[in-house]
Structure 1
Amino acid sequence: MKTVIIDFGSCSLNVGFGGDRNPKIQIPTLVANTQSLEKIFGDQVLKETDDPNIINEYIVKEFGEEGMINWDYMEGLYDYVFDDQLEINLEEVNVLHAQISMATKKEYLKIAEIFFEKFEVPFFNNMEQVVGLIASHKKQSGMVIDIGQYSTRIIPFYDSLVIKPSISFLNIGGKDLTDYLINLLALEGFYLQSQDGFHLATKIKETFSFVNPLPYIPDLDILKKKMANLSVDDDDDFDDNHDLDLGLDDDNDDLTLDDHPKSFDEIRKDKLERNTYQMLMKHGAFNSAKYQFSDQNSVFLDKIRYQCIEPLFKPYLVGKVHEGLHKMVYNSIQRCEIDIRTQVADSIILTGGTTSIPFLKERLENELRPILSTPINFNQISSLLDQNVLTWRGASVLSLMPKFPSHLISKQEYEGKR
């Protein structure tokens, strides 16, 4: 019997068959109401964005808050996917449903009710999304940083098991960054306060934004000016392949030091800044980006491109009383048992649409390095181009495991426990 894999996120839905590498359906969790009260779902909504009569909204406002899921809308979306897109009879397949880790028990039970009673599936299981993420990962220990639409979760795991007491929750997600971008654009005289404006701002963020890799230089123009004052022919003061030059004179074997010699940390900092500058230059980060609106007005995006992402590390910018992402990661590691911290910190998985923004990995490295005493291999931090399907892909792998059928609940078992 085939297994249908469903990954239901806060702003997207992935559906396909167990054993496949990628889902067959990837659509936004959107529903739109027209003036005629007709409802359209998913990618249909995006096709109708020019219709002024369309009023659309995400089905899920935020997991973990009672009343935040519109269950009628969810059922309608699934009807659309199963009947119009996949064209399958759910009475003839198993269903493995992956849902966000912060969902309540009440929400889990409601999902089971929908699939057993409305869709009449014979076998069903509802698992946490992080289980799929872990299954898609090559290592059995590490940490998941999942930046969703409305919130961020930091989830350590060891021996493929989630360390629940060490989970951290940050009440900031991609929507907050988009809202902040809208506010920054308003200061420039461009107002995107409508719902269509929000989707437009999201497009601008996804196309042009990047993360400032250096937390101690909030204005990258300062870095640009500093690099301009250096000779392009200067050799690096520090090279990973040779020792620190202390000024030893080979002719007379006398040790001579400059009046103000640089410390090892200063040399490392200089090297970091030069490498970062070169990386940003290749990305075109110092160039002004132009975005032209449909009314032919244009906006030039300069510092806004990286300023709009800062709330991840400085939540107070959007009125949130939280520590930044890097501090939450640090806190999660510190709440783990001391003898497993190295394994947890050695492999960090970045997932969620926001993690595809350039240089997030580098910023996390630069924020965490000064405060982490735990040895950590930052090279293991990964943000895959296909991170949006990692949960689905892991669930697909799990569905092929010999023990998978034993984890399914039958309709008879469900009815017996009601």
Structure 2
Amino acid sequence: NNNNNNNKTLLTADCCDGPSHTYVTPQVLPGQPLELDPGRTHWLSDGFQRSDVVRRSSCGSEEAWTHPTDDVPEVWDLNVPVVLDTGSGLMKAGFADQDGPKTVFPNIIGVPKYEEIMNGNPEGGVYVGHDAQHMRGVLALKHPIQNGIISSWDDMEKIWHHTFQLMGVEPEEHPVLLTEAAMNPLENRQRMVEIMFESFSVPLTYVAMQAVLALYATGRTTGVVFDSGDGVSHSVPVFEGYCLPHAVQRFPLAGVDVTTQLKKLLQEQGVSMRTSAENEIAREMKERCCCVALDYQAAESSCREMHYTMPDGQIVTLRTERFRAPEILFQPQLIGREHYGMHESISKSIQKCDIDLRRSLLGNIVLSGGNTLLPGLPERLQAEIKALVPAEVGGAIRVTSPKDRDCLVWRGGAVLANLPTFSSAWISQKEYEEYGPQIVFRKCF
């Protein structure tokens, strides 16, 4: 059934041992790359990023790689795929046939500072997610993902286990789609697939780039995504559904850096912000009070103050700190970083692309990630980029900032997992056993 009002297509598929499920997917026009057939592509090695990227083959039979299909389970014969968007700050997980994630929780592990706290803890001596947040006063908090890269695989496995428990699913009964940041080390992608098959026995899995998924969620297949979460930021150009890795720009600042700057400014006021628990308080304060000034100089003399009540009842007054903290995204030199701002990162990324693509990319700049939710950021970004380009091009600039851009990657993952033509792209348990973790480089791009 086609619904012209919301431009979505409803697909119905029967699942084993259960009723049919309705899958909601954006309507995709014929020929768009979302309707990809992995068997009609050929592979190019990308030395810049040491990763494999895929391009459409000009001839379907020329240099085409086809994966083995014998005895590979059809995704429609299994339960609804699970989408796990594993970010530096938050875990977002849910079923691909839903409009949004079923569970969202802080991607943190809490280890008790005192032995007595461990008594009665069902998670084997550690607290995960919201449980860790609630007990943060007596816990040492750890983030298993640093700057977008998984640094503690044991902790990450605990978080994935906790996620499946919260969702009430048996992972061996559902395909699982994982997300990764741009420029993720290749060995990390292998390890993710290895854990999914070895520790959780999933029937099918896939690893997709976060920025590309964010673009899919907006209904686009060409554009440049500035994806900025808690730990890492990237400017990623995408053409016809595929990342252009030579033009990807890593921006060294993200949400955690804004939080750190806010802490520093508050400490100058005499507010104590030293423990890992107080780091979380500073993050909450940033999300409630901070904003981006359209004119930084003018805002210093006309700033409205806000009040934040600390857990102990202390009231903290924020004035210029509200916009001075996020200003580092546009002026990293304020904290001693010799780097260009996020607007220049996007501009440099576009400049690295073919000249014929640049106008199209400038007209499709998409913001994704929780760090881009700061009020005033889209307007400031548009103004800054407009000042960087020739006047005749300035009118073509469009910055898209969906209201739910903190969940944009997850929604894009749900779109991809639901496409009927994507069913052959999943990595199966049989393929993993035959080819090992290296199969990820042949099927995930």
Q: Decide which of 323, 327, 338 is 2:355's aligned counterpart.
A: 338
Change (3 A) 1:354 1:289: same
| Superposed displacement of residue 298, structure 1 | 2.6
Q: Is 2:435 aligned against 1:417?
A: yes
- 1:33 aligns with 111
Q: Tell me the equivalent position of 2:152.
A: 70
Distance 1:95 1:327, change over 3 A: same
Matching residue's letter, 1:131: V
SS at match of 1:341: helix
Measured in 1, the distance between the counterparts of 2:238 and 2:202 equals 32
Alignment of 1:14-413 (within 5 A): 14-34=92-112, 35-36=114-115, 38-50=125-137, 52=138, 54-64=139-149, 68-82=150-164, 84-214=165-295, 217-222=296-301, 224=302, 286-373=303-390, 375-377=393-395, 380-413=398-431
Separation of aligned partners in 2, 1:19 and 1:77: 23
User: 1:191–1:112: structure 2 CA closer, same or farther, 3 Å change rule?
Assistant: same
Q: How far apart are residue 366 of structure 1 and its match?
A: 1.9
CA distance in 1 between partners of 2:228 and 2:97 (Å): 26
Deviation at 1:188, TM superposition (A): 1.5
Q: Give the letter aligned to residue 413 of structure 1.
A: E
Q: How far 1:219 moved relative to its partner?
A: 4.2
**Residue type matched to 1:76 in 2?**
K
Unaligned runs of 5+ in 2: 1-77, 119-124, 437-445
Residues 84-139 of structure 1: CA distance to partner in whole angstroms, max 9, x if unpaired?
Answer: 31221222221111122221110011011101111111111111112311211222
User: For residue 254 of structure 1, what is the aligned residue in structure 2?
Assistant: none
Alignment-derived partner of residue 6 in structure 1? 84
Question: Per the alignment, in what secondary structure is the counterpart of residue 350 of structure 1?
Answer: strand
Instruction: Tell me the amino acid that sits aligned with residue 40 of structure 1.
Output: Y
Structure number having the greater strand percentage: 2
Contact 2:141-2:277 at 8 Å conserved across structures: no
Question: RMSD over aligned Cα, in angstroms?
Answer: 1.8
Q: Is the 8 A contact 2:87 2:148 kept in 1?
A: no
Larger radius of gyration: 1
Measured in 1, the distance between the counterparts of 2:328 and 2:354 equals 30
Deviation readout 1:342-398 (Å, 9 max, x if unpaired): 000101111111211111111112212221127255773122221121111111111
Q: Is the 8 A contact 1:8 1:100 kept in 2?
A: no
- What do residues 160-191 of structure 1 show as CA deviations (whole Å, max 9, x unaligned)? 22121111111111111111111111221212
Taking a change above 3 Å as real, the CA distance of residues 92 and 294 of structure 1, as seen in their structure-2 partners, is closer
CA distance in structure 2 between the aligned counterparts of 1:295 and 1:97, rounded to whole angstroms: 39
Question: Could you tell me which residue of structure 2 aligns to residue 249 of structure 1?
Answer: none
User: TM-score when scaled to structure 1?
Assistant: 0.79
Greater relative contact order (Cα < 8 A, sep 6+):
1
Q: 129-138 or 377-386: which moved more?
A: 377-386
Fraction of identical pairs, as percent:
27
User: Which residues of structure 1 form unaligned runs of 5+?
Assistant: 225-285
Counterpart-to-counterpart distance in 2, 1:384 and 1:63: 22
Alignment-mate amino acid for residue 89 of structure 2:
C
Supply the AA of the counterpart residue of 2:299: L
Distance apart, 1:316 and its partner CA: 1.9
Write out per-residue CA displacement over residues 11-49 of structure 1, whole angstroms, 9 at most, x where no aligned residue: 111111122111111111111112336111111111212
Task: Report the secondary structure of 1:340's partner residue.
Answer: helix
Superposition misfits of 4+ residues, deviation over 4 angstroms: 376-379
CA distance in 2, matches of 1:221, 1:114: 50
2:134 & 2:297 partners in 1: Cα distance? Answer: 39
**TM-score of the superposition, structure 2-length normalised?**
0.75
Quick one: which amino acid aligns to residue 411 of structure 2? R
Question: Letter of the aligned partner of 1:389 in structure 2?
Answer: C
The answer to whether the 8 A contact 2:105-2:130 is kept is yes
* 8 Å contact from structure 2 (residues 171, 200) kept in 1: yes
